[in-house]
Structure 1
């Protein structure tokens, strides 16, 4: 992509898999030093009980051209986050990019009203998806504002426009509140960072081909179009690298402040900056979802790539 983040330091909170890993690797490909955090290590799995680890993410960052540093951290624990940021300060003396990608997708309780959802899971979803983001920003932004041009990215699912018009009933109240909160978190942080030359945005990928999603449909990144169980709408899906390239485009844009406090999508940013997904296409999943999938109309996913 010709983007250069050499000498820059990023913290990707929630980098073990999915969008977080894709973002960490693409930041590495641009030359950044990337601290990737999570709770799944080679010695101990988290409650996700998945095989991906933060050490693997760090190795992928380094292989891509950056410097990957894996740190086990539970971002709902202020003491652990405080020590993480102190370590970054000791080792690097700066922080340029903060990505909050803490969501708890394993806590989903699908297609149930709030009174039928698992309350313990729902409350944990709020802690991971909102409280942990605020804990992380509380400690990290004091370091980020020491140099102008810092960027904060709040990962979510759906744009502010989507959340204004639709209730995300598939995930229920806890899911909907967490994903909507990301836009307000970005707004609040953007307002507070403005006088320090910083920018905060909320960013949504489209239908993401995460490791969990590929496993669900029995495919790999190499043959994902061949699934016999995925719905046809899955053909609009995008790789984790796509959202990573969106973050890199923002982090290397000298005029990124024009997006401060805004809600953005990968498809929109691909048109603005010209980057593509790994297959050379520019999927605009949310335009497809709104115009075809949720509208109940006929449409070819490939026409939105």
Structure 2
């Protein structure tokens, strides 16, 4: 007769085991907070730190929700080596009084967010920079989708501009707390009626690659100071109105933005075509090569001022 095994109610759960493993990974003194970057969001805080082990400057993201930490860690592990995204250097848990665990990820600093570059003021990037921005955004979003995930929360705070060693600017995606696998397309588990969300997401439809691409287009509206969704009380209705006739929001010189938006929505029934979108951007504005360097200037205390 075989002996049946039982599990005691006192046995630790998988999360409890993981918590102990994370706390054991903490190396006091390795990451020293610097006087730079410090931002707080809905789910955590970002600090500038110096890694005394690798002698490099990084960012440290600390959050108290284990589920969000696990999701972001999983995505960052898959992104290893891809220049479109931050690179994870270390992860661990820190116990703070009264017995609160900060789940932490140290990662490479990938420039400044577009939101920070805008400085809280109305802005109007040049048409050339808008073409270059969206081209790089489509490439970065495609790279994320090729890894099997959608971002779900693309906005000016989660897209960064990094000044590389040669002086050129590159576009990066950050913050993957909300990222989910694309297959199968996940239904929202909460109301996702946000400025950056597509009409379909606001209506409760499953998340798809088209919704990330739509949010990427909406980022252009921000940097061109165009706001078709200013009435937050009727956001879904505003989205519906824009979806029916996006062209009325754009002058002839930036009508290509409306055409890209329409092309993405048509792909919902035809199938995704990133190369088609990139091809449209290559001919969007005569004389503007989307692969050419972004235009910017520097000022004292501000290394990137977008033109």
TM-score if structure 1 supplies the norm length?
0.25
Report the structure number with the largest CA radius of gyration: 2
* Structure with the bigger percentage of strand: 2
More relative contact order in 1 or in 2 (CA 8 Å, sep 6+)? 1
* Structure with the bigger percentage of helix: 1
TM-score if structure 2 supplies the norm length?
0.25
